[in-house]
Amino acid sequence: MPIMEEANQNQNIMYDHVKEKISENLTKQSVLQEDSIKQLIEEWKGVIENTPPNILKIILGIEDERHIRSLSLEDWKYIQKELEQSFIVKIESGVLVTGEIQKTRDLTWWTSKKQLEIENYYSTNYMNYMKRNLPTEVLNTIDEDTDAVMNNLADPDLGEFSIYGMVVGHVQSGKTSNYASLICKAADAGYRFIVVIAGGLNNLRDQTQKRLDDVFIGANYQGVGQLPGFKREKMPDSLTNADNDFKLETAKARGTTNFENMQLPILVVIKKHTKSLSNLLEWLEKHYKNQIEKAMLVIDDESDYASINTKDEEDPTVINEKIRLLLRKFKKSAYVAYTATPYANIFIDHEAKNDQVGKDLFPEDFIYALDAPSNYFGANKIFGGEEKKYIVEIPNEDAVYELDDTPYPVGKIPFVIKHKKDYVDELNELPDSLKDAVRLFLLNIAIRNLRNQRKHNSMLIHISRFTDVHIKVKKLVKEYFEVLKKDITAYGSYDNPDQYSGKINLMRKTFDTRLEDIEFSFGTVIKELVKVIELVIIRDAHQKAKDRLVYRDDIQTNVIVIGGLSLSRGYTLEGLSVSYFLRTTVFYDTLMQMGRWFGYRIGYEDICRIYLTDDLYKKFGFIIEATNDLINRLKDMRQDNLTPRDFGLAVQLHPDSLVQVTARNKSKHTEDMFLQMNLDGSMKETGWISDLEKDISENEVVLKDIINSLLTGGYEHESKESHLWKNVKNSIVEKFVNNYNLYRHDPLGLRSRMPIEFIRKYIQNNESDWDVVLFNGKGTRKFEFETITVKRQKRKVKHKHGYYEVTNRQLSRANPERIVMPKEFKRISSSEMRTKLDKPLLMLHALELRDQNDEFIINTVGFGISFPITGRPQENTLKVRINNVYKRQLEEAYQVENDEDGDYDE
């Protein structure tokens, strides 16, 4: 090994051991103060400076004294930053809604009685083992959350019971850690048969099994098996392992058949597949003709996938049927669905029942919504603002939805998002944006190494659902990588290597464009990359893949992964920092689950980038807003003592769920269908502005008309820069809304997400007064009428066919409801403000439209409405009938993929 590389390795060993020791000290502190980490670092600096190497070796647990080194100021800075991001974490307990029957049960049996009477062996092991991975605050919250879920299960010492619940988390936020804790507590309580249904693909099942082996089983003295208090005689019996799903011959060989005499818990981790479930049922039926007395817990991970019955109740889908049969096999059963996207579960008919297979899987007993820790790299952080810090937009010349007659230069045909299997024949070169993403990933590997984060690194490429396309993209990526590697190896160690190689010059441009705030120079980064470039691998992840993607514990993995659904649900890509994403779909849940970039990025969040189109960026932003609204609705329902059935109704009536409702139920409806909507707690805006000159000029008149009515009506008027009128008659607002000219080819306003017919019905049915605001902006032009003058609000738009689309379809900025909020509520979020409104708020916008280059287009008018929470979810609803033509238009607006037969990776 070269001397420099050996020194780097020694430095890294020293760095890791010091960080681990400080981390151990932090986990022992019951209350972590802001300066605790800084104080400990100062103490350890003194220890290292003043302790002889032979003693320091023992203190740090380092085997070879040659690895003892001083740490630089940069090293200490990185240690402090990583520990702060890991330990200074804020997280709150979740939100619980319980069903009518559940409210009559004993919902304190676990925390007030059972937990106090037993050893709590498995849950204690879990907590002790996880201390090395999670900060105290997070572990405490997991403990509280799972205690709440346990209380909503049932004491296994009782008679017969069947519990149906759901836990809602965030994508890649640690749901596995949560249900692993729940499993340990259930085993302590006396649940003897525990089944985890872990997604529909082998890689997710295997990954889940390995995690549960570590935190629950402890086989081969791994994971909890390494703890001092581990008792081999209490080790659970696992009928599956990290390499094998449930098999009849394996279970038979274990000899575990007599549950009645079984004192240890049995774990089964199976793939959500017909064969796996059938094997398990066959094994149970063979040994037990009647129902089994022992209590069973079923964890259905990614429960919105494949578990849902999409057919008639008389003939349910196979997987749904098998899960229900499994639950019926036990006299005492608890079913807990885990998902980050609860829409499908909520749409389950709560009254569905079949005499042969039992009740459907609706979570009628409880729904528990988990909060995410403050260090979670989640959708709100990525898509919730206007900064787009983590987003790289894939330009139109690199990706189109479908090919048209546009002539493209030779070798410059863009990726086509909507394609069929034979698209593979057209793929001959990678677009420039994907090459840029590959270059960025290589730079990120070097940067993390320089930060002493010599851990796994991953890049995700997700552009298709066809296996053959994955294989072709892998070939093209590998070819490009080899070209880069050749020049990096040849010239990367030189000073100013970009002067000798055009490829390294492009690396330099990527560095300057994407990583402008990084603490290292390009020369330092590229020299580090030379050392590790040979360790980079390219893998395609699908059922036909020859090389299985494995993250080993004994070597750093640096991998570019090309895949589709195999990487879309539950599976964790370790150290993911760059994603190139082109898939699209109509469904909220499918799109969110494809976002493997969510998770935790301790120490390297600043270098994470997601390459996607502007259309996809808007979709994710919209989904975040809609999902946040639903979770807020759940909080309101808890306060109002409502039930999961009420929440199910709220989801179906949510103004932004209509496309999902039609798509999910398209096979169950005739040509005509009814839609319902509840506007309570939502905000709707005219994100699409008609481009007809007649509409634009008439809307200016409509704006002046309402201001005239406000000025002559004697309403309370507050004016600073913006103008606010309070307690305005409903009829004035109704006249404005009815006279305003919207884009005319969206009759219900569903595609533009300004559901005008529902809004008009809302105004008709609600006689309450309104508040009305005319916002002042920062434009170069003014709106003037009588005594009222405001600067117009500048908004960037794209000119589409028949309308201007406002960026992100958002007219308002920075919590517009703030203008009517009392002082104590001015710092809460917009959605929270809507829970405080005592009347609806009409927001008037005099607009100055500009193109993406900030060139003036035209003056026009838009408006929005912020709706307060008024009551139960079935209030303020409207049924409308739409035919298949308009339904298809809705689906096309969201670019629904065709369901052609083909060779999918999924």
How confident is the model at residue 730, as a pLDDT?
Answer: 94
What are the phi and psi torsion angles at 772 (to 5°)? Answer: -130, 135
Summarize the confidence of residues 560-566 as an average pLDDT: 80
In Å, what is the CA distance from 675 to each residue of 323, 328, 648, 652, 685?
A: 31, 35, 15, 9, 20
Residue 669 confidence (pLDDT):
32
724-748 mean pLDDT = 90
Q: Is the pLDDT of residue 6 over 80?
A: no
Residue 869 — pLDDT band, cuts 50, 70, 90?
confident
Backbone angles phi, psi at 607, to 5 degrees: -105, 5
Over range 25-50, report the average pLDDT: 77
What is the pLDDT at residue 144? 92
| Residues 697-713: b if buried by 16+ CB within 10 A, e if exposed | ebbbebbbebbebbbee
CB contact set of 832 (below 8 Å; sequence gap of 6+): 632, 825
Dump pLDDT digits (tens) for 708-723: 999 999 999 999 899 9
Tens digit of pLDDT for each residue in 419-466?
A: 777 777 777 889 899 999 999 999 999 999 999 888 899 999 988 878
Q: What is the arithmetic mean of pLDDT over 399-415?
A: 66
Question: Is the confidence at residue 4, as pLDDT, over 60?
Answer: no
Residue 161 burial by Cβ neighbours in a 10 Å radius (0-12, 13-18, 19+): middle
Q: What mean pLDDT is predicted for residues 715-735?
A: 94
Query: Taking all residues of the chain, what is their mean pLDDT, rounded to a whole number?
Result: 83
Indicate whether this model's pTM tops 0.75. Answer: no
**What is the rounded end-to-end Cα distance, in angstroms, of the chain?**
43
Give the model's pLDDT for residue 829.
80
**Residue holding tokens 């409801």?**
817
Q: How far is the C-alpha of 545 from the C-alpha of 561, rounded, in Å?
A: 11
Do the strands 841-850 and 793-800 form a parallel or antiparallel pair, or are they unpaired? Answer: parallel
pLDDT digit string, tens, across residues 639-671? 778 888 776 555 544 455 443 433 444 334 333
Per the model's pLDDT, the better-predicted residue between 150 and 386 turns out to be 150
Look at the block and give the residue holding tokens 């693909």. 201
At residue 339's C-alpha, the angle toward residues 334 and 342, to 5°, is 100
Strands 266-270 and 237-238: parallel
d(CA 805, CA 687): 6
* Residue 50 predicted with pLDDT over 90: no
SS3 474: helix
Query: Which residue bears the tokens 């994470």?
Result: 608
Distance CA 144, CA 127 (A): 12
Instruction: Write out pLDDT tens, residues 798-846.
Output: 898 889 999 877 788 778 999 999 888 888 888 788 888 989 999 999 9
pLDDT category of residue 209 using cuts at 50, 70 and 90: very high
Q: What are phi and psi of 390, to 5 degrees?
A: -100, 5
How many CB atoms within 10 Å of residue 850? 18
Give the model confidence (pLDDT) of 264-284 as tens digits. 999 999 999 999 999 999 999
| Two structure tokens written together for 563 | 């895949």
- Amino acid sitting at position 803: Y
Cβ pair 711, 657 in contact under 8 A:
no
More confident residue, 709 or 93: 709
Task: Please give the pLDDT value at position 796.
Answer: 92
Please compute, for residue 20, the number of CA atoms within 13 A of its CA located in the half-sphere on the CB side.
Answer: 12
pLDDT > 90 in the chain, percent: 43
Do 175 and 301 contact (CB within 8 A), yes or no?
Answer: yes
What CA–CA distances, in Å, run from 100 to 105, 641, 645, 759, 785?
10, 10, 9, 32, 56
Cβ neighbors of 830 (< 8 A, separation 6 or more) are 683, 815, 816, 817, 866
Least confident of 627-631, 765-769, 889-893: 889-893
Q: What is the DSSP string of 129-144?
A: HHTTTS-HHHHHHHHH
Over range 669-678, report the average pLDDT: 53
pLDDT at residue 297 tops 70: yes
Average of pLDDT values for 52-77? 86
**Closest C-alpha among 864, 848, 780 to residue 816:** 864
Residue of 812, 789, 783, 795 lying closest to 701 (CA atoms)? 783
pLDDT of 542 reads 74
pLDDT, residue 445, reads: 96
* Residues in CB range of 206: below 8 A, 6 or more apart: 242, 243
- Is the per-residue pLDDT at 359 higher than 70? yes
| pLDDT at residue 475, rounded to an integer | 92
Name the residue with higher pLDDT: 3 or 799. Answer: 799
What gap in Å lies between CA 243 and CA 207, rounded to an integer? 10
Neighbours of 5 (CB within 10 A): 11
Does an H or E element contain 716, and which?
strand 716-719
Q: Both tokens of residue 423? A: 């698209």
- Two structure tokens written together for 73: 């100021």
Give the chain's length.
906
- The more confidently predicted of residues 485 and 884 is 485
Q: Indicate the domain borders of the chain.
A: 3-87, 122-369, 379-621, 681-870
Other CB atoms within a 10 A radius of the CB of residue 49 amount to: 10
- Closest-CA residue to 397 (of 372, 380, 415): 415
Are the CB atoms for 362 and 344 separated by under 8 Å? no
State which fold the 122-369 domain adopts.
Answer: Rossmann fold (3.40.50)
Q: Which amino acid is at 673?
A: M
- The H-or-E segment that residue 109 falls in is none
Per the structure block, which two tokens stand in for 851?
Answer: 């193109």
Above 60 in pLDDT, residue 561?
Answer: yes
- Name which of 203-207, 381-385, 669-673 the model is least confident about: 669-673
Mean local confidence (pLDDT), 95-120: 94
Tell me the C-alpha distance between 837 and 817, whole Å: 8
Q: How confident is the model at residue 8 (pLDDT cuts 50, 70, 90)?
A: very low
Q: What are phi and psi of 389, to 5 degrees?
A: -60, -35
DSSP structure class, residue 215: I
Which residue reads 């003043």 in tokens? 50
Residue with the larger pLDDT of the pair 827 and 346? 827
Report the pLDDT value the prediction gives residue 456, as an integer from 0 to 100. 92
Burial 246-271 (b: 16+ CB within 10 A, else e): bbeeebeeeebeebeeeeebbbbbbb
* pLDDT value at residue 885: 46
The winner for highest mean pLDDT among 132-136, 328-332, 669-673 is 328-332
Q: Give dist(CA 769, CA 763) in Å, integer.
A: 10
> What are the residues facing 166 on neighbouring strands?
337, 367
Q: Residue 370 in contact with residue 94, Cβ under 8 Å?
A: yes
Say which range, 156-170, 235-249, 608-622, 764-778, has the weakest mean pLDDT: 608-622
Of 35-39, 151-155, 526-530, least confident by mean pLDDT is 35-39
At residue 31, the pLDDT reads: 56
Angle between helix axes 175-189 and 136-151 (nearest 10 degrees) is 50
User: What is the structure's pLDDT at 617?
Assistant: 82
Kindly tell me the sign of the dihedral angle through the C-alpha atoms of 445, 451, 455, 461.
negative
Residue 897: which pLDDT band, with cuts at 50, 70 and 90? very low
Three-state secondary-structure class, residue 278: helix
